[in-house]
Chain A
Amino acid sequence: MSVRATIMGLSLLMGLASPALAKDDLVIGVSQFAPSLNPNIDPTVIKSYVLDFAIRPMTAFDKDWKLSCLLCTTLPTIENGGAKFETTKDGKQGLAVTFTLKPDLKWSDGVPVTTKDLLFTWKLGSDPKSGFSNNNPWDRAKSIDVIDEHTAVLHLDRVIVAYNQWDQLLPEHLEAKAAEGKEAGDYLKATLYNRAPATAGLYNGPYMVTGYDSGAQIVLEPNPYWSGTKPSFKRVVIKTIENTAALQANLESGDIDLAPGDAPALTIDQVIALQQKAPDKFAYIYKPSLTYEHIDLKIENPFLQDVRVRRALLMAIDRDTLVSKLFAGKQPVAATWVNPLDANFAAGVPAVKYDPAGAKKLLAEAGWKPGADGICRNDKGDRLAFEIATTAGNKLRELVEAVLQSQWKASCVDIAIKNEPARTLFGETTKKRTFTGMVMYGWSSAVGESPRKTQFSDQIPTAANNYGGANYIGLNDPKMDGLIIQAEQELDPAKQKAIWAEMQGIYAEQVRVLPLFFRAEPYVVPKWLKGFTPTGHGDYSPLWAENWRAE
């Protein structure tokens, strides 16, 4: 082969670079793959993100954190008569919630979405053998009355705030066969969403899954039977690149268009650095989210039993500077677990201000005086020292930890860092509450979700409850328990707000947790993408993907 021919061959191979698909394709880069696609089983963040393009829940919170109907015509509420109080057979107060499905809804094979699907999903979801683990369990409804093809009444045996929050329906005409199995787990193995996720008819959103390349990418194309706003892209490709440095390089090379903040993708420090490097190349969005980073304190630790010590620990850390220096001020400081964007946020509960002198004074009141080495000691000569654990290898958490360690040291508190891999930290240390002082991690809740999992007494993980629950602080306060129950049942928004304010007050007063900041979701968005709106909560931006367009 001549040199000329070789050069021509190489040019053909190398020169025809096609980093950018045409603008009618949108390539999204994420760092995790959704290994299965059944919406009701193991709904991880990445799975929900992918499915939000293709299958709509009955209801979802919108960008303003207001509950809205996606499959129904009107959101049923007490006020509009869509939900009514009723008395159950055993004399308790329950609710009858009427849903009317949008009449022009169709599955992606043209079959209409009807109450048959609602009934099927409810029956399957109420069967413990099905393995459903969705956020809004179907077994909250004890019976369903089907009025016609589009209207049904769900009967709940108790009053709950989330009475009008329901998840995705499943297509009865396709999934009924998979649900025929009698053994526990049979449905899990037979569902088409896992066995053949590109089957036409499994989706009812603006896009449908047409390609599923395990571990690599998922391809979505417009659902021809979607009756809403016509999706603008001919193809949406969700590509998995697990190494975030490589993911960033792909973004810069144009191989991917969008790095979402509501799915696992680039870290906030990467996005801040990229913005500094290429401020005009992309649009950068930092959306405060419901995930709050915090430090749980082990209340059984004798030094931490004194609330003055716990409060002093909070006063000794400068969270404003930490957030400003490490995250360019993009992540708001948290006063409690409730985000200021949440309707139940209590503005009257102030965030504790950085006050190292006040912290030392409080420690002195509690009997802790600085020793010769600068670390506080009590009358018995004990050093005021704690261990802190977080997920080893999480660069940002380790950085935060190091800053906090130095700030506490300045206030005469000695902190030893003892980090563990995530699976050990969450599989043993928090689960069995074996940490001795502090443990730092993030926690996500849904909009308006009560703090039952983290603060109700029966959620303290013990051998008796098979280490279920996430009340790692070991909070066992009948008053808090009572408030949580009320918060889950009170339908009057004003009373609800008062209950939440009281819960936040207890949280702030007892200082069993050191709240740090709310994570911001960092998005890198192509400048030509319009109609894209992050939400900051668990109903992700693709739920409104039909509005995304290239301009």
Chain B
Amino acid sequence: MNNSAVKMVNISKSFGTVQANKNVSLEFKRGEILALLGENGSGKTTLMNMLSGIYYQDSGEVFVDGEEVVISSPKDAFDLGIGMIHQHFKLVDVLTAAENIILGLKGSVTINRGKLASEIREISQKYGFALDPNKKVYDMSVSEKQKVEIVKVLYRGADMLILDEPTAVLTPQESDVLFEMLRKMKESGKAVVIITHKLQEVLFVSDRVAILRRGELVAEMNTEDATIKSLTEGMVGRKVDLAIKREEPHFGEEKLIVKDLTCLNVEGHKALNDVSFSLRAGEILGVAGIAGSGQRELCESITGLYPVENGSIIYTENDVQNELRGLTPSEIIKKGISLAFVPEDRLGMGLVAGLDMVDNMMLKSYNIEKGMLVNRKRPKRIAEMLIKALDIVTPGVSTPVRRLSGGNVQKVLLGREINSEPSVLIVAYPVRGLDINSSYTIYNLLNEQRKKGVAVMYIGEDLDVLLELCDRIMVLCNGAVSGIVDATKATKEQIGFLMTSD
């Protein structure tokens, strides 16, 4: 019996110079749960977004039920019975679950709420969960919202469901409920795909697993043949020699000592849980972990942008210790603490997108000189110097940084932070979205800083880079430190395991 639901053949997609997917061929079947496994940035979501109508492939074909189709909008996907539940829910806050579910559907003029509610109950009962149709979305927990999204696609008649990292926002108990639902969907003949990077999940719930790495399909196997080891190997790959030059370290004093740092997220859960580590001058400390393990909160709590619930952050300069906890960014600047931070959101936080390079150069230093007026001479000099030193491609110093390419934006940001001659430099995902050449420029810059005795904290996602660039790697898992390893001795499998060891 041919139960093929979707077949993708030789799909390729690139964004600018970054190839997100390369000749991927993948099939999924009805009555089966397929796990699509891969690290952050391995192209899982992009691949599935081509099925849900968000993107359109550069080349390759898609077949649904054996016939070639074109999916150019979410509506096309719906019409084909493909429903995708994105990581960021698309729900209207002030409407009820039921109202969100029928949004945009054709039908009778008025809404028959009684009938609708019973239909929703019927669907939810069928898959073994409860959903109050009349509850407003703003009153819902994350897992309830996810259920609304699932019912939304089921109600529209989807028989192929794609869930993007569905457990990322759930507690373990909620995840179990979700898996039970997915199994019931499978039993009722639906095709289910879950995008994930959690190995246990794959083994626990899926029938088949496909592994993506750097945009390519590297392995496909039945889950019963898979082990944690084989999955990790497939996901992280054999160690690739990136030829990042690493020199002998000269470690200095412990610049930053973080102890028992705990932060809460909006929902009141612990985003950081008793994190303790130290950062020495002249070293690069890598921070690994799946996305959303507390990396952002870690960076922002150190730099005074995120409220700290508990713990301490001690900064040492010439044997003088300063408590950073509770200080605002301007207080940190005023204390003369040279803490540089390259945030993940470059144009939304690190730079002012609409201002030019000169104005961006003085973002953190405009207030240093006395007087009412800003002095643009110095930032202009810095801008011109950076353009030369880092080969920044721009029409000139007065071009808004928004108009620069991703790599050049990052050079502007990192260049400014390095130029402030920091003693601690925190960089979050500095090469995300950058091409190979720009990435190497960034690695070299960071290595130079390390050589100069700067204490560098590098939040990264590519394990090969972390292993080659860093001296030590701290692994975060669910907001807690699951291990700190010596990067010269550790293996990718070891780190991959720490990342996912709940």
Does A pair with B?
no
